[in-house]
Structure 1
Amino acid sequence: MTTEKQILVFTDLDGTLLDHTSYSYAPAEKALQTLKKHHIPLVLNTSKTRAEVKLLRRRMENTFPFICENGSAVYLPDSDGDFVAHVSGSGYDGILSVLSQLRKDGFRFRGFNDMPASEVSAVTGLNTDDATLAKQREATEPLLWQGSEEELLQFTTAIEHHGLRLVQGGRFYHVMNQTDKADGMKKVADYYRQSTGRDVITIALGDGGNDVGMLEAADFPIVIPGKKTTLTIKNPAAVTAPSEGPKGWQQVMGPLLDKLLAQ
């Protein structure tokens, strides 16, 4: 294995490392074991909350930094080894304060903070326990828009006036800071540069629109094809896996790790 640079692997979860239906990562197990054998950090970079990721990290025995809520919260170890959130811009309380004011201004929406877990479960399809974890937010707020299209444009402008941004997901709009998964990846890469004194090689894997920035900023971007569309990445090093989910993850990561570790 090359000793000049530290290899870092950044991966999205749902539809990438985790199967869309079963949420299993078993098809990628061989490559995951290679990472463990060579002490290569596997950094989870997801839209999920820390509470949601905590269970998966425990199951995977993952002890590395991680990134949640689309890059808005980066978790790095402190001097005691505890993971501390580094939140860019307004924290969750700041976002809720802005939304409270905008609601008083007449905008109509319903966010996760307004909903009991049973309602989050109903609108997301998550079970109640998982919905409870999804409500434990630190840096972003998903919401259902209840106004008109014209009001939505005004709402977007108002959000931006407060230094935030509104990102459309599937069913929800997400109010968040001016950050994305690429920003989270950069923070973790900088942490490893400073803590190891070595430069880094970044490998990134993703399947969704919120992964584009991360993929375009990586040294080795790996696009996992989606069920409906496959991303086009402006990075000449980008490759697309032949299969969806963790099977595709394994198909590309296996040979890539063999190549890098042989250098």
Structure 2
Amino acid sequence: MSPCDRLLVFTDLDGTLIDHRTYGFDAARPALGRLHREGHALVMASSKTAAEVVPLRAAAGFAHCAAIVENGAGILPPAGDAAVSGTEDAHDRLRAALDELPPALRRRFTGFSDWSVDEVSVNSGLDRAAASLARRRQFSEPGLWTGGREDYQIFALLLAEKGIFAQQGGRFLTLSFGATKGDRMAEITRQWRRTGEPITTVALGDAPNDITMLQQADIGVIIANPDQPGIDRLEGEDSGRVRRSLHPGPLGWNAEMLRILDELR
């Protein structure tokens, strides 16, 4: 990594930049402030909706950067509002495909659209206002699977036949039409590199749906999550290209980002 490189940082939110319990990121503010002051870019990459990401992105000081929403299903443009370009009926088609499943399987998956605002709040830990924003799905459907492993395999296979794929995050199983955070990361990175400016990509995440980002980044950081099974050992850990934080959530995020920024000097 050259000391003149600009960082293009892709970060998961829940359990990574944002604390799973408090939904805050105060512990990460020192590194966020330094990223901003030194002119680096931060791309939030989350299963959250655009409506949720807009205020979070502004609060972190990176409203001028694009964001990846709904687990890679859409890209929120810089300084954009909650309108994301894409297939407008994607969520409706996804919900229709779910309802076409055998009833015994369909009952095993309950998503945000099946729940009231109060139920989303209880299941996610969000307050009612944030839960309302979380239900404003455009492309994907996060939820909980309550069946066994064999039934899940049938569930996933039947959905895959309709072009719908499941990605396990730190808290929810998210269904979408196949795009991943890694796909969108590659798209945004290509756009940046067309300018000819030297950049180093960094990706941080705590769950299996972050692996595609971690594997393609110049530097990958697996954030500790003691409440989840986590991520198995990845290629690149032996060489140090992929590293693991000692601390969970925004505390670990802050420590690892400050370490990377120090390495730039």
TM class, shorter-chain normalised?
Answer: 0.7 to 0.9
Q: Percent identity?
A: 35
Cα pair 1:107 1:151 within 8 Å, conserved? no
Task: State the partner residue of 1:37.
Answer: 37
1:165 CA drift (Å): 1.2
Partner of 2:71: 70
Structure-2 change in CA distance of 1:89 and 1:2 (3 Å): farther
Structure 1 equivalent of residue 138 of structure 2: 138
Q: Which stretch shows the higher mean deviation, 15-24 or 65-74?
A: 15-24
Question: What per-residue deviation string (whole Å, max 9, x for no partner) do you get for residues 12-68 of structure 1?
Answer: 122222233333322222221221112211111112111111221222232210111
What residue number does 1:13 align with? 13
* Aligned twin of 1:25: 25
Contact 1:4–1:198 (CA under 8 A) maintained in structure 2? no
Tell me, what secondary structure is at the counterpart of 2:43?
Answer: strand
- Pair 1:6–1:93, CA change in 2 (3 A): farther
2:164 aligned partner: 164
Higher CA-based Rg? 1
Structure 2 residue runs of 5 or longer lacking an equivalent are: none
Q: Distance in 1 between matches of 2:146 and 2:31?
A: 45
Q: Which moved more, 1:176-185 or 1:87-96?
A: 87-96
Match of 1:251 in 2: 255
Q: Which moved further from structure 2: 139-148 or 52-61?
A: 139-148
For 1:91, the equivalent position in structure 2 comes to: 90
Q: 1:241 to 1:173 in 2, by over 3 A?
A: closer
Aligned to 1:57: 57
- Number of residue pairs matched by the alignment: 257
TM-score by length of 1: 0.83
Q: TM-score, normalised by structure 2?
A: 0.83
- Consecutive unaligned residues of structure 1, counting only runs of 5 or more, are none
Distance 1:148 1:16, change over 3 A: closer
Q: Is the 8 A contact 2:170 2:207 kept in 1?
A: no
1:233 aligns with 234
Kindly state the Cα deviation for residue 184 of structure 1 after the two structures are TM-superposed.
1.9
- AA aligned to 2:84 is A
RMSD of the alignment, in Å? 3.0
- 8 Å CA contact 1:107–1:147 kept in 2: the answer is no
Deviation at residue 225 of structure 1 after TM alignment: 1.3
Task: State the secondary structure of the residue aligned to 1:242.
Answer: strand
2:205 maps to which residue? 206
Conserved 8 A contact 1:31-1:253: yes
